[in-house]
């Protein structure tokens, strides 16, 4: 089903997870209820961050077909489409070029989780992919 090498998607998942680790909670008012703090997570901009640059480079290195598949995998993993609607998701991704932009994908909360779930629904896994080979 995929034309993009699933190992390339796994590399993106690994790097996106490393980037996600750098997300920090933001407390808007020190007097707020601490139980609410977990709900206030902001994705910080890391303009000189090497991990962010690796994610951005990976995304910028995708050709149009690969970028469409990444977007469709994201949507599949997020639950916007199911496995039986893969071709529909792919067609929709082709019609939404703004969704392919690295900034749009990097701004997607849980990008790595959604991509991994999308791969899983199509029968692929990153378990056999070794970081050293990537």
pLDDT at residue 19, rounded to an integer: 82
92 has a pLDDT exceeding 80: yes
SS3 content of the chain, % helix, strand, coil (to 5): 60, 5, 35
User: Would residue 41 count as lying in a domain?
Assistant: yes
Cβ neighbours of residue 76 under 8 Å, at least 6 residues apart? Answer: 82, 83, 85, 86, 89, 117, 118, 121, 122
Identify which of 6-20, 34-48, 82-96 has the greatest average pLDDT. Answer: 82-96
Question: Would you give the end-to-end CA distance of the chain in angstroms?
Answer: 22
Domain residue limits at 33: 6-128
User: Would residue 15 count as lying in a domain?
Assistant: yes
User: Would residue 133 count as lying in a domain?
Assistant: no
Mean pLDDT score across all residues of the chain: 82
User: Would residue 59 count as lying in a domain?
Assistant: yes
Which residues in 1-134 belong to E strands, given as ranges? 24-25, 41-42
111 has a pLDDT exceeding 80: yes
CA torsion through residues 110, 115, 120, 125, sign: negative
Confidence of residue 72 (pLDDT cuts 50, 70, 90): very high
Q: How many domains does the chain have?
A: 1
pLDDT digits (tens, 9 = 90+) for 35-68: 444 433 334 455 567 888 889 999 999 999 999 9
Whose structure tokens read 């995708």? 62
User: Would residue 105 count as lying in a domain?
Assistant: yes
pLDDT at residue 86, rounded to an integer: 97
User: Would residue 90 count as lying in a domain?
Assistant: yes
Residue 134 and residue 118: Cα distance in Å, rounded?
A: 20
User: Would residue 104 count as lying in a domain?
Assistant: yes
CB 16 within 8 A of CB 112: yes
74 has a pLDDT exceeding 60: yes
pLDDT at residue 46, rounded to an integer: 52
pLDDT at residue 83, rounded to an integer: 95
User: Would residue 80 count as lying in a domain?
Assistant: yes
């Amino acid at each position: 089903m995929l034309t993009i090498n699933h190992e390339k998607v796994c590399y993106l998942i690994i790097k996106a997870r490393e980037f996600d680790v750098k997300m920090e909670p933001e407390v808007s008012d020190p007097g707020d209820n601490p139980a609410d703090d977990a709900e206030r997570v902001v994705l910080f901009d890391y303009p000189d961050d090497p991990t962010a640059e690796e994610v951005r480079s990976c995304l910028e290195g995708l050709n149009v077909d690969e970028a469409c598949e990444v977007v469709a995998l994201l949507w599949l993993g997020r639950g916007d489409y199911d496995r039986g609607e893969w071709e529909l998701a792919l067609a929709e991704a082709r019609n939404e070029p703004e969704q392919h932009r690295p900034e749009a994908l990097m701004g997607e909360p849980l990008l790595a989780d959604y991509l991994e779930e999308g791969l899983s629904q199509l029968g692929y896994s990153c378990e056999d992919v070794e970081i050293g080979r990537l």
